Each structure stands twice: as structure tokens, then as C-alpha cells.
Chains A and B, each alone.
Chain A
Amino acid sequence: MDSSVEDFRQFSIFVQSRIEQKMDRETYDNQKLKAYLLGEPSGADADAFDEASFTDENFGAALSAAENDLIDAYLQNELRGAELKKFESVYLSTKHRREKIEFARALQTFAGKEILNSKTETEKTGFFAWRNIFGNRNRALQFGFAAAALLVLFFGIFWFTILRRENAGGEIVLKKTPTPENSAAVNQNSAPENKNSNESVPSAIQNPANENSQNSNEKMPETNKRSANVNKNSNEKNQTPDKKIPVSIPQEPLIATFFLAPPLRGANKIPLFDVPKNASQINVELQIEADDYKTYHVTLTNETGDINLWRRSSLKAKSKGANKFLNVNFPAKLLGNGFYSLTVSGVNENGEAEIVANYPFRIGEK
């Protein structure tokens, strides 16, 4: 019995290698396979594909691979427009295929965890292993650093909301900076604008698996509320349109700030931001899942990823509570309406850059 099992195993390996060799010579049109999976060809074409899926092993293997790639692309938000609509309306219509999606999601989550665990294991060995202060034997140090991180966070919020607002002007989160010429218009419109800007922020916040990002982003609307209250108070005091708003000093350029959480390997939509037309700079806070590198590069690319629009090197991660962030600032004129991506790469000990994460986002009405 054991020999027959071994014979079968050898036979399977032989068959598999022959199929792989033959597949090297034959390639199938991936677009046609995708279209077939999304129900597009009908009649004789569909019948031909149906039959080939049984009778041609190579076609069957290519079809299976195309299906897996399609599912993975959907989970990683790589499908767009009509293809995405087709996928959601046709492919997701059966329970069997929805179960395949769930399995694929679990597989991606598992793969991510395994890779992170293998990185952590590497850090725990070797010459610098004893310096791993986040290891199991250093609970006291862990709590100490957590407490210190909380103190830094509170101080950071204090500085950002009170000290910074007193000392600087013009750097307003998703809000217009009034100039002496239009201070009247801004005074009248500031409350509704704050409401509008806060409505666009949740597109970056609504990330149900990432509660930390939600907590840190909830601070932003409070900041805007506080600014709105100050403006409201100044409205009540200053009835004439010529009076200036004490909060903002119009000499500084307008900076629009938004936050991007790490892209989850799941069916999440790409965040959409509305950047004010007169914003001169865009400030982005990129949350990273782990601070594994000393320095980072961040590259801004177009939708297809083949054109680099802007790049910044030698960035260091900053802490906000338990979370790590990279802060980047680039000219607003680089962005028009459309899809973009910020790619974060970590620089390893050999000086080589390794891609850590991609943060896709979309700019709406500008």
C-alpha cells in the first residue's frame, strides 16, 4: 500500500512538471479569461471555453490562475470602473464564489501575518537580539514605553491644538485660511465649511478593522470644531465684515492635511479627498503597521504607478500613541482629480529600499 501511495505521489509530481513545462510554451489571453469569468462571452465562444475547461488541462490551469488573480485583485482594490462593477454584480452573485472570496481574504491575511512573524523572529536572533526591548521578557519596559508614548501623544495634542494655534496661522486642516480681502466671506461661511471638510475626512477614517486609526482621526474633527467655535465667537463679537479673525494670519500658505491608514487586504474602498482649490501644500500622515526600518522613502505616483511625481527620502517614523506615522508634505499642484498612490519603502541595513506598503487614494473635486 505504501509503495502504491509513493508511486502515485511520484506520478503526480511527474504530471505536474509536464503541465508546467507545457504551460511555458502555451499562454492564454488573460483578458479573454477574465471576460469569460465575468460572464461576457456568450453562445459558441462560451461553449468553447466551457468544453476546454474540461478537456484541456492547460486551459483549466490558466483559467483557475486567472480566477485567483481576479479575486486577489478585487480584495486588494486593484479593480476599477466597469470591471469592478461587473465583478460585484456577476462574480459575487453565487454563494460558492463568495466563499472563494472569503478563503482568499483569509489566505492573504495569513500570508501577511507569516511574513511579519518571520521578520520578528529574525530580529530576536543575532547580535542585537538582547536589544529587543519588546520581547516577552521585558514587560516592564513595554509598559514604560507605552506610558511614555501616551505622554508624548498628550503633549503633541496640546501643542497642536493650543500652542501651535497661538503661534502660527494659516495651517488649517481642510479649511480655508481667511486673507484680509476675504475674511468677511470666510467668517460667514466658516461653520458650514468645517462641516464639509469633516465629511470628507471620514473617507480616510472608515476602516473598521483599524480602531487605532479611528481613534486618532477622531481628534481631527474636534480640532476643526474648536476652530469653528473660535470663528463663531469672533462672528458674534465682530459684526462688521472688515474685522479680522484672530485665529488665522493670512501670510502662511494653505496646507490641506489628510490621513491614510495602512491598506487592508480586504474589500475596502479607496479613500477620496477633496482638496481646496487654493491649497498650496498637501500634508499626509501615513500610518505604518510596524517601524522595522531606520529610515523610509516615500514616492508619489500616478494611477498606473509608472510615473513618479514626487519623492522624499530619509524619513523617520514618528509615534502617536501605539501607532507609527510618516509625515510627508508636497505641492498641491502635483495632484489633479484622479487616482494616486503613495509608496512607502524601508531602507535596510544594506542601504537597499524594500517596499513596505502602498497607499492608494483619490482626489475628487478640486
Chain B
Amino acid sequence: MQNSQPKKNWLITSESFARLLEWLDDGAGSDGQKYLEIRRLLVNYFDRKNCRSPEELADETLNRVARRLEEEGKIESETPAKFCYITARFVFLESLRRKENKSVSIDEIKADKIILKDETNEKELNEKMLACLEKCVGELDGTNREMIVKYYYGAERVKIENRRSLADKLGVSSNALTIRACRVRDKLEVCVKKCAAKDE
């Protein structure tokens, strides 16, 4: 069904990337948002599989899909999301085989095992993250800003009561509020990561 063997010499071009974006949009015209969403799903998928480099594997998956599109012109057998998932499965299985065959150096093992315990560094990272978060929350509109602050304030009963009153105020159900808060949180996480990376 699918040639999942990577062609090492193949490089994605701007045309093949544009074709990939168009195919992922499935005619909707998302301006690249669908690509970012699929990439996020791929990163989470590889992360759940405890892969060491989920972002690299996500990019490898999308590269293969782009190559397939270039070779065949179109893919109509599956929806874009499902095709990406199927490709991701192959990429994951190959990464497992690579892991079995590869000898890992002691430095790599140590790098995995060492958890940063430098308190000064950790404190600086936390402060930077808070500063970035403040900046990113400032870029939200008033309603989302208030929602995200109240949604995540408090513990146990305080949190439950806050969320209930927030849902009433916004005129939505608890489930709908949860989804909304989740989306805003995901956006903030991406924004904070970019901000923190910029400052380094």
C-alpha cells in the first residue's frame, strides 16, 4: 500500500511543501493552521510512544507524506489526518528497529538520566517562563485572558466552583468551557516556548 522506505536523497522543496499544505487543508484554506495542528498531533503521538525525539519524527512523517504527494500527485485513499497517522505508525516502528540496532553511547544514557537539579538555573528558567507567559497572556483578547486565569486558579473545590461560575458567565456548558480553555492553553504553550527560545 505504501512505500515507507525513506529516500535519503529526497529534500522537501517549497513547491512540495505548498502542495502538502493544500492537501492537508482539504480545500478549507487554513493558512497553514492545519499543518501546525497535524504536526502537534504527530508530536504528541510520538511522545506518548516515549520516543526520544518526537519533533524530529513528526517532521520525518510530514516529509514522507510530502514526498508521496509529489510522486503520486494526489492521495485519495484516506483522509489527510488518517494518512498522516498511518505514515506515523511506520515511522514509529522503524524508529524502534533503529533503536534496537543502534548502540547507545554512555553519554546519551547519562544525558537521559540526568535531571537538572541546579536550583539557581531552575529558578531562572521559571522566572523566564513566567515573564513569557505574562507577555503571551497579554496578547490574548480580554475574554480569553480572564477565562484562562480564572480557569486555572485554585485547587479542588475552589477550582470546581470557579469553573462552574465561569461557564455560567460565558453561557457555555462545562465541557465546552474545558475545550475552550484547552485550546487557549495550547496556544499559550506554543507562544511561551517560542518566547523562551528567543531569549536564549
The reply to whether A23 and B176 contact each other, CB–CB distance below 8 Å, is yes
The reply to whether A305 and B156 contact each other, CB–CB distance below 8 Å, is yes
B residues in contact with A54, CB < 8 Å = 38, 41, 45, 81-82, 84-85, 88
The reply to whether B175 and A27 contact each other, CB–CB distance below 8 Å, is yes
Question: Which B residue sits closest to A106, measured CB to CB?
Answer: B129
The reply to whether B173 and A97 contact each other, CB–CB distance below 8 Å, is no
Name the one of B44, B133, B188 contacting A53, with C-beta atoms under 8 angstroms: B44
Quick one: given A24-B173, A64-B182, A96-B54, are A55 and B85 in contact (CB under 8 Å)?
A: yes
The reply to whether A110 and B130 contact each other, CB–CB distance below 8 Å, is yes
Produce 1/0 per residue, A83-126, CB < 8 A to B: 00000000001101101101101111111101100000000000
Whether B186 sits at the interface, judged by CB under 8 Å, is yes
B residues in contact with A20, CB < 8 Å = 172-173, 175-176, 179-180
- The secondary structure that dominates the B interface is helix
A residues in contact with B81, CB < 8 Å = 54-55
A residues in contact with B79, CB < 8 Å = 55
The reply to whether B47 and A97 contact each other, CB–CB distance below 8 Å, is yes
For the complex, give the distance between the alpha carbons of A353 and B190 in Å: 38
B residues in contact with A68, CB < 8 Å = 181-182, 185
Smallest distance from the beta carbon of A18 to chain B beta carbons, Å?
11
Name the one of B29, B55, B88, B152 contacting A111, with C-beta atoms under 8 angstroms: B152
Smallest distance from the beta carbon of B54 to chain A beta carbons, Å?
6
Question: Which A residue sits closest to B172, measured CB to CB?
Answer: A20
**Which of A60, A96, A115 lies at the interface centre, i.e. has the most chain B CB atoms within 10 A of its CB?**
A96
Whether A265 sits at the interface, judged by CB under 8 Å, is yes
Q: Which of B121-156 contact A (CB under 8 A)?
A: 125-126, 129-130, 133-134, 137, 148-156
Whether A199 sits at the interface, judged by CB under 8 Å, is no
For the complex, give the distance between the alpha carbons of A19 and B179 in Å: 9
Quick one: given A55-B82, A65-B182, are A110 and B176 in contact (CB under 8 Å)?
A: no
Whether A133 sits at the interface, judged by CB under 8 Å, is no
Question: Which A residue sits closest to B44, measured CB to CB?
Answer: A53
The reply to whether A355 and B161 contact each other, CB–CB distance below 8 Å, is yes
Whether B74 sits at the interface, judged by CB under 8 Å, is no
For the complex, give the distance between the alpha carbons of A50 and B185 in Å: 22
A residues in contact with B30, CB < 8 Å = 8
The reply to whether A265 and B82 contact each other, CB–CB distance below 8 Å, is no
Smallest distance from the beta carbon of A266 to chain B beta carbons, Å?
10
Given A53-B44, A111-B149, 5 additional A-B pairs, CB 8 A: A53-B41, A54-B41, A76-B156, A106-B129, A263-B155
Task: Name A's B-contacting residues (CB within 8 A).
Answer: 4-5, 8, 11-12, 16, 19-21, 23-24, 27, 37, 39, 50-51, 53-55, 60-61, 64-65, 68, 72, 76, 78, 93-94, 96-97, 99-100, 102-103, 105-112, 114-115, 263, 265, 305, 343, 355, 357-358
Q: List 17 A-B contacts (CB under 8 A).
A: A8-B31, A16-B180, A20-B173, A20-B176, A23-B175, A39-B48, A50-B89, A51-B82, A54-B41, A65-B179, A65-B181, A68-B182, A94-B47, A106-B126, A107-B148, A355-B157, A357-B158
Nearest 5 interchain pairs by C-beta: A20-B176, A54-B85, A111-B152, A106-B129, A111-B153
